[in-house]
Structure 1
Amino acid sequence: MSLSAPGRTEAGHPASTAGARRVATIAFTAQGVSVAAVYTTVPAVTEHLRLAPLLTTTMMVAVALMAGGGSFVGLAAIRRAGPVATMRGALLTAAAALTLIGWAPDTKTVICAYILFGIAVGALDVAVNTRAAAIERAYGRSIFGSFYTAWSVGGVAAALLTAAAARLQWPVSAGLTVQAGVLLALTICIRTHLLAPSEGPSDTPAQPPLGRRVWSRLLPFGLVLLVVYVVDSTVSAWSAVYLRQTLAASLTVAPMAYAAYQAGTVVGRAATDRLVQRFGAVAVVRTAALSVSGALVGMAAAPGWPFAVLAAGAVGLGASVLAPLCLASAARLRPAASEAILARLNLFNYAGVVTGGAVSGLLGSTGQFRLAYAAPAVLAVLLLVGARHFTRPPQATQGAVPPKS
């Protein structure tokens, strides 16, 4: 582990802060790769081990439940070793879990592997978001969207890799081993860059009591995040299965809906920070909510897999801005305790994943996948109510030079 000195870039900006942003971007990319690798290989793992549809649904729900618990494992690790070390440990564990899923010889082994992955991704989630919140405070402007853009780019790359492996008729073990190798390569690139004291909290966050008032202010963000992840899990966890079972797509084509969804999020998240600076977070969230609702209806009514792939991309375009803006606004409720805020906010995240994943999986197992995509369209409209709670990031300290992007 190397610690960069608090030097200056050629433009006179803090090198440590710019380096911290690069490292966080790598970590978000790796998280996107890991999640996509799991979700896009569900049909192949199911067929390889001849798993019952209900068991597959149960495993995806278990991943979400374990991720919720993993958030608190990550919180404890952050307080002991810092967010960067927690990122590394979580990514190594996720890589091991992916390899185990691919090579699992039986049902019990693959269940244990999915549980291990859930814990790892939950810990990784709170670590990367805690670090991102600290870096955004150092910049004094909205940059959360750029991190989630990297997350989506990783997801697109992993989904396309899954499709390519299926096209080449690789066994699922080979495909997931390659995905694990990608995670290891990205983990090697993660270094520690200390933020200057004036730019934000240290790598070892304080632990002040949160108080009841914070929880009442956190609830609107939690409900928004719950709905967002109901939508996200319905598309992410089950779009490949939807294309395969309902729309008769091949194993090569099945991951393309996930890839399109993540491609839509890349476009949306790349524009998020500029849109927020120009129109404000409230207007962006309201527009995104309406877009998501309409796109989900289109996905539910898709006459064939090409239309479903396009609709999935449209869902990603609208949904992309919601999670990063929600997390960024919530973290600003108590900057000195952002890791505790985000760990608890993750409970709503994974509650949404569990709800969306379980309901969609159960409907899909009974041949009603179209209804599974139509129902969240109604929930997406409810996001209009929570939009007013979103805030802009505070401006950088007067006289300070913002870090170079």
Structure 2
Amino acid sequence: MSARHGAALALALLAPAGAALAQAVPATGNPGTSASTRADSAWRQCAALGHDNQARLACFDQWAGQQAWQAPAASAASASADGAGAASPGDSAGAVALPVDTRLPATRIIDVAQTEGCRDTQYSDLSRFWELESGSDCGTFSFRGYRPITVSVVASDSVNRQPSSDAEDRTAADITPYRRTENRIQLSVRTKIAQGMLTQGHPTRKDSLWFGYTQQSYWQLFSPDISRPFRTTDHEPEVIYVYPTDAQLPFGWRWRYSGVGLVHQSNGQSNPLSRSWNRAYLMTGMELDNRWNVRARVWKRLSEDRTSDDNPGISDYIGRGEVQVFWNVDKNNTLGATVRHSLSGTGRGSARLEWLQTLGTGLGGGKSNLRLHTQLFSGYGDSMIDYNHKRTVLSLGLSLVDF
């Protein structure tokens, strides 16, 4: 979008906004100051948020969308009665005047433009999750959820009481009487460390660079006879680059992003229980409306010296790629499936089914981020120590999703 077109759209947005702000801004300051001057001062706070035309346009565009989402019926009625939402014959050609809720305080208008970003539900799940657009951007170096933060009770058909590996001196000497019922704790956060590297100057799209960290622990909470130890804890730091590859696909699907990543995963143990590997991966994602989204990754293990390889052949067990499918059944229920495959003759891998149900409401009456989380897993690689141990696991617990 050119600067001239951006200016035209900004003017179209400001035409109805001026009337609304003139009513919303209280009469403060110099008694001689006119209402139009006060309104002008208020909307210029939004205009001054950025240092260029594109940033200001994104701010106004986000503000306008928020008004339409928040109270469309009231906005339309106010515009019809007061004439505030109608464009005059002298307006810029092709500009569409947006309805404005004249009851909304000007301070709230500025606040919406500054704070909604990746929490603005007018944008899709994938757009908000990876902050693909200017309107869904929440800036850099703020903490966000990555994978669900989970506390759950786990019951399995087997438990790895004597972990082993094909590598030399990587098999436990003793059998530990672990129980098949245990507690699982997962922590996962990320932060955006850079943005606009290849899309600098684009009016709507934003690429980004992220750092994420996930930690998963299995705790033998129900084994007092062995002092309730942590059976295993996995650490998984990664760096992710995301590019907004927006395109329309057949049957209404929309291609939203591509990306690359580098990830290390290990259990932090010494021999004979040490397990670790490093991978580079490619990823992509697409969505259908806000009901379905599909995410895929393929990876390549980075080679290690044979003498330091704790888990040779791990890719033939855990896999070399995965596909995730999520279906928002309604506003409170999401079903998901994740399938991993070795992409080789071994045919090994895993499958995970999950159901997330919203609990309660969030701050301000919006949708809560707390979920009742039910999962069924079957296959290899439920943890690093179990990379070559196949098992089926049912878990039920609470999860805090992206925040």
Normalised-by-shorter TM-score class: under 0.3
Q: Which structure's residues are more often helix, by fraction?
A: 1
Question: How does the TM-score come out when normalised to structure 1?
Answer: 0.25
Question: How does the TM-score come out when normalised to structure 2?
Answer: 0.25
Instruction: Considering Cα pairs closer than 8 Å and 6+ residues apart, tell me whether 1 or 2 has the greater RCO.
Output: 1
